[in-house]
Amino acid sequence: MNPTSDVVARLSGAVKRYGQLTALGGVDLVLHRGELLAVLGPNGAGKSTSISLLLGLIRPDGGRAELFGRDPQEIEARRRIGVMLQSAMLPMTLRVGELLRLTASYYPNPRPLEESAALAGVSDLLRRPYGKLSGGQQRSVQFALALCGRPELVFLDEPTVGMDIDARRKLWDAMRALVTEGCSVVLTTHYLEEAEALAQRVVVMGRGRVLSEGTVDALRAQVPLTRIRCVSDLDAATVASWPQVASAERDGARLRIGTNDAENVLRCLLYADASLRELEVQRAGLADVFTELTRDERTLEQEAA
């Protein structure tokens, strides 16, 4: 579907070791023009290491990293990207407007300052010293810096950590605007609803490997689970023994049921308990898929601990 010329960044069999620890054990990852790729995974899965390889901040011990078909350390490739990492070392005394002007000056065709500020929702902060801003405001400024050079590809490593709901929504809208412009975005996040709301494609990593990848819908289809919640006196163990029920547990007055056959379980429930109420039915979200995909990884970690 996507011709090779559409590829803006690629890891091929990327290996990265730190002493005995294999941070990445042969990772393949492709990013196409104009797509938002969410990279998910538990702590230590290798998400930041993958991004650092694509940014040329570290070199692979095996395999290859490519940015626009070039070595990521080449300046021609780096001029085409914008970056927001987990920690930013920015001069605290500079005003936001000065920071934006300075950063934009490194790029051949930057956005006008007002446009960058408006996109990132920091127009009101331009005269404030960066060091005097709140944590969430600083993140918004870092986002403005990532997009001010009109990059073709933006790396956002957990961009919405510390942001309130309003700032987070604004950043989501800005990410969508970037993608509409044709910009590619690599987003790492622990907020699964963020990936669900924004990503065209999702990569789930665990212990330095890619566990799964695909569209949100394709990943959801791997866990064809529906969640049913209701207030009922039915015994959870009895419900759990019904053939179509994957799991059933009690949460106070509520029963929580997981099933691959919601229609039949609903019929049985309503037949078995005429006084059942507050019925909710919801198909599996990315969070359920993530839990399933990383279950083995977490079990291995617990065994090793």
Ligand X SMILES: Nc1ncnc2c1ncn2[C@@H]1O[C@H](COP(=O)(O)OP(=O)(O)OP(=O)(O)O)[C@@H](O)[C@H]1O
Residues that bind ligand X (CB under 6 A): 18, 21, 23, 41, 43-49
Residue 145 CB, nearest approach to ligand X (Å): 20
Residue 210 CB, nearest approach to ligand X (Å): 12
Is the Cβ–Cβ distance between 257 and 166 less than 8 Å?
A: no
Nearer to ligand X, 34 or 162 (CB): 162
Bridge partners, residue 185, by sequence: 36, 154
Residue 272 CB, nearest approach to ligand X (Å): 44
Nearer to ligand X, 156 or 239 (CB): 156
Nearer to ligand X, 18 or 106 (CB): 18
Residue 21 CB, nearest approach to ligand X (Å): 6
Nearer to ligand X, 46 or 110 (CB): 46
Q: How far apart are the first and last CA of the chain?
A: 43
Residue 304 CB, nearest approach to ligand X (Å): 12
Q: Read off φ and ψ for residue 204, nearest 5 degrees.
A: -105, 125
Nearer to ligand X, 21 or 89 (CB): 21
- In whole angstroms, how large is the CA radius of gyration of the chain? 23
Q: 246 vs 225, 237, 254, 257, 262, CA distance in Å? A: 8, 12, 17, 7, 11
Is the Cβ–Cβ distance between 188 and 40 less than 8 Å?
A: yes
Residue 23 CB, nearest approach to ligand X (Å): 3
Nearer to ligand X, 139 or 150 (CB): 139
One-letter amino acid at 105 equals S
Q: Cβ–Cβ contacts within 10 Å for residue 294, how many?
A: 21
Residue 40 CB, nearest approach to ligand X (Å): 9
Nearer to ligand X, 16 or 150 (CB): 16
